[in-house]
Amino acid sequence: MRYFFITIFVFCLFVFYQGLKKNPRDIPSNLISQEIPEFYISSFNGPNLSHIDLKKDEIKIVNFFASWCPPCTVEHKQLQSLSKKVTTYGIAKKNKNKDLSKWLGKLGNPYKNIGMDYEGLVSIEWGVYALPETFLIDKNGIIKYKHVGPIMQRDLEKLENLIRKLR
């Protein structure tokens, strides 16, 4: 009996120790390996943006962001270097055009097109719960990977590898 308890106890300690290496905030998306959800929204500098644009025959990333979100500013530099290698779309969540143009004017615009998600409904469709979030989409419009939080230098390598594999 006593060995039973000690075994359980040691096992718990082991699991706790392993747990330390994991980040509880990494939550995989249910949308992975699925087609992108349908949506139609107005665009920042074009007529509009919809899921049809995102299904076009190329690999792309879709970045959910907002000018009011400080971590989005942090990842901007990395996003710009990424945009040179892969087509980058942005979806601005609950953002005013005026604020957004000021923000892009200051930091530069890595996006091919920006959808304006004024009400935040598209973000809900995509299961976005924290800004920024970035989706990697393959040639057939299937979501392959989701990154939660700002893309830092160390994440860049992983994303680039994934993109290389898709090609």
Could you list the residues that contact other proteins (CB under 8 A)? 2, 5-6, 9, 12-13, 15-28, 70
Q: What's the min distance (Å) between Cβ of 83 and other proteins?
A: 28
Q: Which amino acid is at 29?
A: S
DSSP string, 109-142: ---SEEEEETTSHHHHHTT--SS-EEEEE-TTSB
Q: Are 50 and 24 within 8 A, CB to CB?
A: no
Q: What's the min distance (Å) between Cβ of 88 and other proteins?
A: 27
Q: How many helices (H) and strands (E) does the chain have?
A: 6, 7
Q: Are 65 and 88 within 8 A, CB to CB?
A: no
Q: What's the min distance (Å) between Cβ of 19 and other proteins?
A: 4
Give CA–CA dist 93/67, Å, rounded: 9
Q: What's the min distance (Å) between Cβ of 51 and other proteins?
A: 25
Q: Toward other proteins, which CB reaches closer, 82 or 128? A: 128
Q: Toward other proteins, which CB reaches closer, 1 or 57? A: 1
Q: What's the min distance (Å) between Cβ of 24 and other proteins?
A: 4
Q: Toward other proteins, which CB reaches closer, 111 or 126? A: 126
Find the Cα–Cα–Cα–Cα dihedral 47, 49, 54, 60, rounded to 10°. Answer: 90
Q: Toward other proteins, which CB reaches closer, 6 or 52? A: 6
Backbone angles phi, psi at 148, to 5 degrees: -100, 135
Q: Toward other proteins, which CB reaches closer, 12 or 52? A: 12
Between CA 35 and CA 150, with CA 44 as vertex, the angle to 5 degrees is 60
